[in-house]
Amino acid sequence: MLVNILLWILFGALAGWIAGKLMNSETGLVTNIILGVIGALVGGFLAGLIGIQTATFSILGLVIAVAGACLVIFVFRKLKT
């Protein structure tokens, strides 16, 4: 159980790093990782609402996590200014 949680956090961190690169984020690495973890949760939630199952480590899961992280970074930028 604990290992799964840690793996999902690492998966979200990877998504945050990728999203930070895609969005040319000027925030620090730690902020991008935190936003990535949050974004992975948001992306997974939104995907679940439309019927896409992302409960496994897969390319689709990573794409959804990165998309969610990009969304969270975008909202974070808007709220910050």
Q: How far apart are CA 52 and CA 14, in angstroms?
A: 21
Judging by beta carbons within 10 Å of its beta carbon (0-12, 13-18, 19+), is residue 9 exposed, middle or buried? middle
Q: Is the pLDDT of residue 74 over 80?
A: yes
pLDDT band (50, 70, 90) for residue 54: low
pLDDT band (50, 70, 90) for residue 55: low
- What pLDDT is attached to residue 53? 74
Can you give the residue ranges of every domain in the chain? 9-80
Q: Is the pLDDT of residue 51 over 70?
A: yes
Q: Is the pLDDT of residue 5 over 80?
A: no
Taking only the tens place, the pLDDT of each residue in 20-41 is 899 988 888 888 888 888 888 8
Q: Is 24 left (phi over 0), alpha (psi -120 to 50) or beta?
A: left
